[in-house]
A and B are shown apart, each in its own frame.
Chain A
Amino acid sequence: AQTVTQSQPEMSVQEAETVTLSCTYDTSENNYYLFWYKQPPSRQMILVIRQEAYKQQNATENRFSVNFQKAAKSFSLKISDSQLGDTAMYFCAFMKRHSGNTGKLIFGQGTTLQVKP
């Protein structure tokens, strides 16, 4: 079975600074995807970034980037130039990758990020 752990329940950062959210996971699978989702106060789940485990290059999306360490089973999210709109709960999630994939997601506990002006 897969597990995803986010050990930081809450974090805060000053506007325009950089913050890193941590995530570790456990799996015996070799092929999988990892995600970071953002959940603002509206509750809508928004995909921030996706990493494919077979790709060594870390994924980036504008101000968001990841540090994917497959051997260590670590997947952290770095937010650069933090903005007030980044205030939200962030979830790390895991999905198996194979042709019969049912698309089930395994989520971490979440990290609440507060961006301060």
Chain B
Amino acid sequence: NAGVTQTPKFRVLKTGQSMTLLCAQDMNHEYMYWYRQDPGMGLRLIHYSVGEGTTAKGEVPDGYNVSRLKKQNFLLGLESAAPSQTSVYFCASSYMVPGTGGYNEQFFGPGTRLTVL
């Protein structure tokens, strides 16, 4: 199993450009997430999905859109990139462990470093 993979690993954009980050998981997980990591702020949830065809806003959704057309993929889009979106982006997936009454075991991707000039 490849686990959670992210494409690309690095990217530099100019202000106003658009791009899509791809997250893929091969573990048949229902839940997927996009976080951003900024110095001194930890990881913050951008958007998440509880199943194929569903998405929901997280803590910092402005400026981002997501889609989950296939269960194994979760796409994060930036329509018009801004310098404030310079960050490291992490995708994660999870499944609810049976018999735990609500524990989701999390699996993280390796991250994408995005710089917006």
Chain A interface residues (CB < 8 Å from chain B) = 4, 6, 9, 31, 33, 42-45, 47, 52, 91, 95-110
Contacts and interface: CB of A to CB of B under 8 A. Distances in A.
B96 A101 contact: yes
Nearest to A4: B42
Main secondary structure on chain B at its contact with chain A?
strand
Interface stretch (B14-22, B62-70, B77-85, B97-105): B97-105
B106 interface: yes
B95 to A, nearest CB: 8
Contacts of A45: 90, 92, 108
Given A102-B48, A107-B43, A43 B88 contact: yes
B102 A109 contact: no
B58 interface: yes
Interface of B: 31, 33, 35, 40-45, 48, 50, 56, 58, 88, 90, 92, 94, 96, 101-104, 106, 108, 110-111
A104 B31 CA distance: 9
Given A95-B103, A98-B101, 20 more contacts: A6-B42, A31-B101, A43-B88, A43-B111, A45-B90, A47-B106, A91-B43, A96-B102, A98-B102, A101-B104, A102-B31, A102-B104, A103-B33, A103-B104, A104-B33, A105-B43, A105-B106, A106-B45, A107-B35, A109-B42
B101 A105 contact: no
